Amino acid sequence: MQYLDYELRGDVALIGLNRPEKRNAISDSFVEELDGAITRANGEAKAGVIFGRGPHFCAGLDLAEHVQKTPFEGVHGSRRWHEVFGRIERGKLPWVSALHGAVVGGGLELASSTHVRVADRTAFFALPEGQRGIYVGGGASVRTCRLMGLARMTDLMLTGRSVDADTAERWNVVQYVVDEGQALDRALELAAKAASNAEFSNYAVINALPRIQDMGSDDGLFVESFIASFAATTPDAEARLQAFLQKKAGKVGRPEDK
Protein backbone atom coordinates (compact mmCIF):
# COMPACT_ATOMS: atom_id res chain seq x y z
CA MET A 1 0.00 0.00 0.00
CA GLN A 2 1.23 3.49 -0.84
CA TYR A 3 -0.88 5.69 1.40
CA LEU A 4 -2.03 3.30 4.12
CA ASP A 5 -0.60 0.57 6.30
CA TYR A 6 -2.51 -2.37 7.70
CA GLU A 7 -1.95 -4.55 10.75
CA LEU A 8 -4.03 -7.23 12.44
CA ARG A 9 -3.67 -7.13 16.21
CA GLY A 10 -5.71 -9.94 17.71
CA ASP A 11 -9.28 -9.46 16.51
CA VAL A 12 -8.70 -5.79 15.67
CA ALA A 13 -7.59 -4.47 12.27
CA LEU A 14 -5.50 -1.29 12.37
CA ILE A 15 -5.52 0.98 9.34
CA GLY A 16 -2.91 3.72 9.49
CA LEU A 17 -3.23 6.74 7.22
CA ASN A 18 0.36 7.03 6.05
CA ARG A 19 0.86 10.12 3.91
CA PRO A 20 2.31 12.42 6.58
CA GLU A 21 4.12 14.69 4.12
CA LYS A 22 0.66 15.71 2.83
CA ARG A 23 -0.94 15.74 6.28
CA ASN A 24 -2.65 12.47 5.19
CA ALA A 25 -4.67 14.32 2.54
CA ILE A 26 -7.20 12.10 0.76
CA SER A 27 -6.72 11.46 -2.96
CA ASP A 28 -8.59 9.11 -5.29
CA SER A 29 -5.86 6.48 -4.90
CA PHE A 30 -6.07 6.92 -1.13
CA VAL A 31 -9.80 6.15 -1.21
CA GLU A 32 -9.22 3.01 -3.29
CA GLU A 33 -6.56 1.78 -0.88
CA LEU A 34 -8.96 2.39 2.00
CA ASP A 35 -11.61 0.36 0.22
CA GLY A 36 -9.19 -2.56 -0.12
CA ALA A 37 -8.17 -2.32 3.53
CA ILE A 38 -11.81 -2.38 4.63
CA THR A 39 -12.38 -5.51 2.55
CA ARG A 40 -9.38 -7.18 4.15
CA ALA A 41 -10.51 -6.21 7.64
CA ASN A 42 -14.00 -7.59 6.99
CA GLY A 43 -12.45 -10.97 6.24
CA GLU A 44 -9.96 -11.06 9.12
CA ALA A 45 -11.13 -8.97 12.06
CA LYS A 46 -14.03 -8.39 14.42
CA ALA A 47 -13.43 -4.63 14.85
CA GLY A 48 -11.23 -1.95 13.35
CA VAL A 49 -9.26 1.17 14.25
CA ILE A 50 -8.34 4.00 11.89
CA PHE A 51 -5.55 6.40 12.89
CA GLY A 52 -3.13 8.82 11.29
CA ARG A 53 0.64 8.61 11.11
CA GLY A 54 2.65 11.77 11.61
CA PRO A 55 1.49 14.98 13.30
CA HIS A 56 -2.10 14.82 12.02
CA PHE A 57 -5.00 12.43 11.57
CA CYS A 58 -6.09 13.87 8.22
CA ALA A 59 -6.23 17.42 6.85
CA GLY A 60 -8.86 16.58 4.23
CA LEU A 61 -9.15 16.53 0.47
CA ASP A 62 -6.06 16.54 -1.75
CA LEU A 63 -6.79 19.93 -3.32
CA ALA A 64 -3.97 19.68 -5.87
CA GLU A 65 -5.72 16.66 -7.39
CA HIS A 66 -9.21 18.11 -7.00
CA VAL A 67 -8.59 21.31 -8.95
CA GLN A 68 -7.72 19.25 -12.04
CA LYS A 69 -11.15 17.58 -12.16
CA THR A 70 -14.13 18.44 -14.31
CA PRO A 71 -17.45 19.00 -12.49
CA PHE A 72 -18.63 15.51 -13.44
CA GLU A 73 -15.37 13.96 -12.23
CA GLY A 74 -15.90 15.82 -8.98
CA VAL A 75 -19.39 14.35 -8.60
CA HIS A 76 -18.09 10.87 -9.35
CA GLY A 77 -15.28 11.28 -6.82
CA SER A 78 -17.70 12.49 -4.15
CA ARG A 79 -19.99 9.54 -4.71
CA ARG A 80 -17.04 7.17 -4.43
CA TRP A 81 -16.14 8.70 -1.05
CA HIS A 82 -19.75 8.16 0.01
CA GLU A 83 -19.59 4.53 -1.09
CA VAL A 84 -16.32 3.69 0.65
CA PHE A 85 -17.05 5.64 3.84
CA GLY A 86 -20.48 3.98 3.87
CA ARG A 87 -18.74 0.59 4.06
CA ILE A 88 -17.35 1.79 7.40
CA GLU A 89 -20.51 3.41 8.73
CA ARG A 90 -22.93 0.63 7.83
CA GLY A 91 -20.70 -2.32 7.23
CA LYS A 92 -19.81 -5.50 9.06
CA LEU A 93 -17.44 -4.27 11.76
CA PRO A 94 -17.47 -1.65 14.50
CA TRP A 95 -14.82 0.99 13.76
CA VAL A 96 -13.06 3.33 16.18
CA SER A 97 -11.05 6.34 15.02
CA ALA A 98 -8.05 7.66 16.96
CA LEU A 99 -7.76 11.39 16.29
CA HIS A 100 -4.92 13.84 16.79
CA GLY A 101 -3.74 17.04 15.16
CA ALA A 102 -5.80 18.16 12.18
CA VAL A 103 -9.18 16.46 11.76
CA VAL A 104 -10.24 18.79 9.01
CA GLY A 105 -12.59 18.68 6.02
CA GLY A 106 -12.45 15.19 4.53
CA GLY A 107 -10.59 13.99 7.63
CA LEU A 108 -13.58 14.94 9.76
CA GLU A 109 -15.86 13.26 7.21
CA LEU A 110 -13.84 10.05 7.48
CA ALA A 111 -13.90 10.20 11.28
CA SER A 112 -17.67 10.82 11.17
CA SER A 113 -18.15 7.51 9.36
CA THR A 114 -16.64 5.58 12.28
CA HIS A 115 -18.79 4.51 15.21
CA VAL A 116 -16.63 5.65 18.13
CA ARG A 117 -14.22 8.59 18.01
CA VAL A 118 -11.36 9.16 20.45
CA ALA A 119 -9.45 12.45 20.32
CA ASP A 120 -6.31 13.45 22.12
CA ARG A 121 -5.87 17.04 23.27
CA THR A 122 -3.86 18.04 20.21
CA ALA A 123 -6.84 17.38 17.92
CA PHE A 124 -8.66 20.24 16.24
CA PHE A 125 -11.70 20.09 13.99
CA ALA A 126 -12.81 22.28 11.09
CA LEU A 127 -14.77 22.36 7.83
CA PRO A 128 -12.92 25.03 5.80
CA GLU A 129 -14.44 24.20 2.41
CA GLY A 130 -16.26 27.55 2.21
CA GLN A 131 -12.95 29.40 2.45
CA ARG A 132 -11.61 27.26 -0.44
CA GLY A 133 -14.59 28.07 -2.66
CA ILE A 134 -15.95 24.52 -2.51
CA TYR A 135 -18.47 22.50 -0.50
CA VAL A 136 -18.21 19.36 1.61
CA GLY A 137 -18.34 16.23 -0.55
CA GLY A 138 -17.40 13.26 1.61
CA GLY A 139 -20.63 12.90 3.57
CA ALA A 140 -20.45 15.76 6.09
CA SER A 141 -23.86 17.14 5.06
CA VAL A 142 -25.35 13.96 6.50
CA ARG A 143 -22.93 12.26 8.89
CA THR A 144 -21.09 15.19 10.48
CA CYS A 145 -24.18 17.38 10.58
CA ARG A 146 -26.09 14.68 12.45
CA LEU A 147 -23.32 14.50 15.02
CA MET A 148 -22.88 18.21 15.78
CA GLY A 149 -26.21 19.61 14.58
CA LEU A 150 -27.14 22.00 11.79
CA ALA A 151 -26.38 25.28 13.61
CA ARG A 152 -22.87 24.25 14.64
CA MET A 153 -21.95 22.88 11.25
CA THR A 154 -23.29 26.02 9.58
CA ASP A 155 -21.09 28.07 11.89
CA LEU A 156 -17.97 26.04 11.05
CA MET A 157 -18.59 26.29 7.31
CA LEU A 158 -19.47 30.00 7.25
CA THR A 159 -16.78 31.27 9.60
CA GLY A 160 -13.94 28.81 9.02
CA ARG A 161 -13.40 28.46 12.77
CA SER A 162 -11.76 25.37 14.27
CA VAL A 163 -12.67 23.80 17.60
CA ASP A 164 -10.60 21.85 20.09
CA ALA A 165 -11.14 18.34 21.42
CA ASP A 166 -13.09 19.39 24.51
CA THR A 167 -15.48 21.44 22.40
CA ALA A 168 -15.80 18.54 19.94
CA GLU A 169 -16.81 16.28 22.82
CA ARG A 170 -19.46 18.76 23.99
CA TRP A 171 -20.73 18.91 20.41
CA ASN A 172 -20.99 15.10 20.18
CA VAL A 173 -18.31 14.93 17.48
CA VAL A 174 -16.13 12.70 19.69
CA GLN A 175 -17.04 10.49 22.62
CA TYR A 176 -13.67 10.36 24.39
CA VAL A 177 -10.92 12.91 25.02
CA VAL A 178 -7.55 11.67 26.26
CA ASP A 179 -4.11 13.12 26.91
CA GLU A 180 -1.72 13.79 24.05
CA GLY A 181 -0.44 10.61 22.44
CA GLN A 182 -3.03 8.34 24.10
CA ALA A 183 -5.76 8.22 21.44
CA LEU A 184 -4.55 5.10 19.65
CA ASP A 185 -4.15 3.07 22.84
CA ARG A 186 -7.63 4.04 23.99
CA ALA A 187 -9.10 3.32 20.56
CA LEU A 188 -7.51 -0.14 20.55
CA GLU A 189 -8.92 -0.83 24.00
CA LEU A 190 -12.42 0.18 22.92
CA ALA A 191 -12.21 -1.75 19.66
CA ALA A 192 -11.13 -4.89 21.54
CA LYS A 193 -14.18 -4.53 23.80
CA ALA A 194 -16.45 -4.18 20.78
CA ALA A 195 -14.79 -7.19 19.14
CA SER A 196 -15.73 -9.31 22.16
CA ASN A 197 -19.47 -8.63 21.67
CA ALA A 198 -21.82 -10.98 19.88
CA GLU A 199 -21.38 -10.52 16.14
CA PHE A 200 -25.10 -10.11 15.48
CA SER A 201 -25.44 -7.54 18.26
CA ASN A 202 -22.65 -5.44 16.76
CA TYR A 203 -24.20 -5.71 13.31
CA ALA A 204 -27.59 -4.60 14.63
CA VAL A 205 -26.09 -1.62 16.45
CA ILE A 206 -24.20 -0.53 13.33
CA ASN A 207 -26.94 -1.13 10.78
CA ALA A 208 -30.31 -1.11 12.53
CA LEU A 209 -29.87 1.65 15.10
CA PRO A 210 -29.13 4.48 12.62
CA ARG A 211 -31.98 3.36 10.39
CA ILE A 212 -34.38 3.31 13.35
CA GLN A 213 -33.29 6.87 14.13
CA ASP A 214 -34.50 7.83 10.65
CA MET A 215 -37.95 6.27 11.24
CA GLY A 216 -41.01 7.56 12.99
CA SER A 217 -41.26 6.44 16.62
CA ASP A 218 -43.96 3.81 16.06
CA ASP A 219 -42.09 2.25 13.12
CA GLY A 220 -38.84 2.31 15.05
CA LEU A 221 -40.32 0.57 18.06
CA PHE A 222 -41.90 -2.08 15.84
CA VAL A 223 -38.59 -2.84 14.12
CA GLU A 224 -36.78 -2.87 17.48
CA SER A 225 -39.07 -5.63 18.75
CA PHE A 226 -38.24 -7.91 15.82
CA ILE A 227 -34.49 -7.32 16.05
CA ALA A 228 -34.45 -7.88 19.81
CA SER A 229 -36.47 -11.09 19.45
CA PHE A 230 -34.23 -12.47 16.69
CA ALA A 231 -31.00 -11.52 18.46
CA ALA A 232 -32.00 -13.44 21.58
CA THR A 233 -32.40 -16.67 19.56
CA THR A 234 -28.85 -16.80 18.19
CA PRO A 235 -26.56 -19.49 19.69
CA ASP A 236 -24.08 -16.82 20.75
CA ALA A 237 -26.75 -14.92 22.68
CA GLU A 238 -28.04 -18.07 24.35
CA ALA A 239 -24.54 -19.00 25.54
CA ARG A 240 -23.88 -15.48 26.85
CA LEU A 241 -27.22 -15.29 28.66
CA GLN A 242 -26.65 -18.67 30.28
CA ALA A 243 -23.18 -17.60 31.40
CA PHE A 244 -24.68 -14.51 33.03
CA LEU A 245 -27.47 -16.48 34.73
CA GLN A 246 -24.92 -18.96 36.03
CA LYS A 247 -22.85 -16.07 37.40
CA LYS A 248 -19.97 -16.84 35.03
CA ALA A 249 -20.13 -13.38 33.48
CA GLY A 250 -19.54 -10.14 35.34
CA LYS A 251 -22.26 -7.64 36.15
CA VAL A 252 -22.19 -4.03 35.02
CA GLY A 253 -20.04 -1.99 37.37
CA ARG A 254 -19.57 1.67 38.12
CA PRO A 255 -18.26 3.95 35.37
CA GLU A 256 -14.56 3.67 34.62
CA ASP A 257 -12.49 6.58 35.78
CA LYS A 258 -11.17 7.35 32.28
Question: The whole model's pTM is what?
Answer: 0.91
pLDDT at residue 246, as a whole number: 67
The answer to whether 109 is a known catalytic residue is yes
pLDDT at residue 137, as a whole number: 87
pLDDT at residue 243, as a whole number: 64
pLDDT at residue 29, as a whole number: 93
Residue among 67, 63, 174, 70 nearest 114 (CA): 174
Element (H, E) at 192: helix 183-195
pLDDT tens track for 1-34:
799 999 999 999 999 999 999 999 999 999 999 9
Are 36 and 13 spatial neighbours (Cβ–Cβ below 8 Å)? no
Residue ranges, the chain, pLDDT below 50: 258
> 96: which strand partners?
49, 116
Q: At what angle do helices 235-245 and 199-213 cross, to 10 degrees?
A: 100
* CATH code reported for the domain at 4-195: 3.90.226.10
Spans of all domains in the chain? 4-195, 199-245
Residue among 138, 126, 118 nearest 30 (CA): 138
The answer to whether 129 is a known catalytic residue is yes
pLDDT at residue 195, as a whole number: 97
Determine which one of 7, 21, 73, 129 is catalytic: 129
Q: How far apart, in Å, do the first and last CA atoms of the chain sit?
A: 35
199-245 topology per CATH:
Lyase 2-enoyl-coa Hydratase; Chain  A, domain 2 (1.10.12)
Determine which one of 109, 180, 189, 199 is catalytic: 109
pLDDT at residue 244, as a whole number: 61
Contact residues for 142 (Cβ-Cβ < 8 A; gap 6+): none
